[in-house]
Structure 1
Amino acid sequence: MSGINKVILIGHLGKDPEMRYLEGGVSVTSFPLATSETFNKDGQKVEQTEWHNIVMWRGLADVAGKFLQKGKLVYIEGKLRTRSFEDKEGIKKYTTEIVAENFTMLGRKSDFEPDGNSRQTGKGSTNGDTFHNNTTGDDLPF
């Protein structure tokens, strides 16, 4: 039996998606996502925010780059991935990311209409549309 690696998040983008292109024109976008929870501690309401590094590949990255912006509310499904890299001083570092498999834009329709002009996806309103990554994890270049 194999394991399950599934992450579901609803949160706000901490900044606009950062799009880049790798060898062969493969698109990848990344951004931080904030999730918050509120709890009572000693009779006081406390809010705790957790930051998640989101990564999207290929077509999903392209759509995210067009429609997602800092502050927007989004539902994301994906998987947890930890990778290593060397920093500028040659020191090995580790980072944990959510590799998104699909996302749904949440909020009011007007949240996705810059300056009152409607953005269309070819399916109608962007609000509530779900976008899927049609690649498997084996297609990722890392």
Structure 2
Amino acid sequence: MSAFINEVTIMGNLGRKPELRYFANGTANLRVSLATTEKWTDKETGELHSETEWHSVLLRGGQAERVAEYMDVGDKLWIRGKIKARHYIDDNGIERVITEIHAKEMKIINTRNRKKTNDDPVHPEDIENTEEPEDDPLESFM
């Protein structure tokens, strides 16, 4: 057992339409932008404040396919996963670091009343809480 913990749980709204992609080995991959908003009231002035944080979340396999099929901008998603940093060189030759959440579990909390392409109504409550296997096909791409 490890003495270290790398686990995060967030629930937020999708910031853009999901775009599903596939690796050469056929594994589905989906990157979503998830917004979490904290609201509070200033005790001195009574003024309401809010602050939104944006999180880059990676989903793969069946999770990625379900989110792409059922969700759109503004829909609410619950994620449990781990935080990973990815280094890359940008177009100007500068090294950049991106912090991402790699989802292990996800649950669709709510969607707007949309219909799937086959005209069956979307019922997110029927979508099971899913866990992906421990092997991480994204590891070889970083």
Deviation at 1:138, TM superposition (A): 4.4
Give, as a single letter, the amino acid of the residue that structure 2 aligns with 1:101.
Answer: K
Give the unaligned 5+ runs of structure 1: 120-124
Give, as a single letter, the amino acid of the residue that structure 2 aligns with 1:34.
Answer: A
Q: What is the aligned counterpart of 1:54 among 48, 54, 57?
A: 57
Distance in 2 between residues matched to 1:137 and 1:89, nearest whole Å: 33
Contact 1:112/1:127, CA 8 A, preserved across alignment: no
Structure 2 matches for 1:25-44, cutoff 5 A? 25-41=26-42, 42-44=45-47
Distance in 1 between residues matched to 2:17 and 2:36, nearest whole Å: 16
What is the aligned partner in structure 1 of residue 134 from structure 2? 136
Give, as a single letter, the amino acid of the residue that structure 2 aligns with 1:126.
Answer: P
Give, as a single letter, the amino acid of the residue that structure 2 aligns with 1:63.
Answer: R
What is the aligned partner in structure 1 of residue 108 from structure 2? 105
Structure 2 matches for 1:10-25, cutoff 5 A? 10-25=11-26
What is the aligned partner in structure 2 of residue 122 from structure 1? none
Query: How many positions carry a matched residue from both structures?
Result: 135
* Structure 1 residues 16-39: Cα deviation after superposition (integer angstroms, max 9, x where no partner): 112212221222101110001111
Distance in 2 between residues matched to 1:64 and 1:18, nearest whole Å: 10
Specify whether residues 64 and 74 from structure 1 end up closer, same or farther in structure 2 by C-alpha distance, changes over 3 A only.
same
Divergent runs of 4+, >6 A: none
Which structure's residues are more often helix, by fraction?
1
TM-score, normalised by the number of residues in structure 1: 0.82
TM-score, normalised by the number of residues in structure 2: 0.82
Contact 1:102/1:132, CA 8 A, preserved across alignment: yes
Distance in 1 between residues matched to 2:128 and 2:80, nearest whole Å: 10
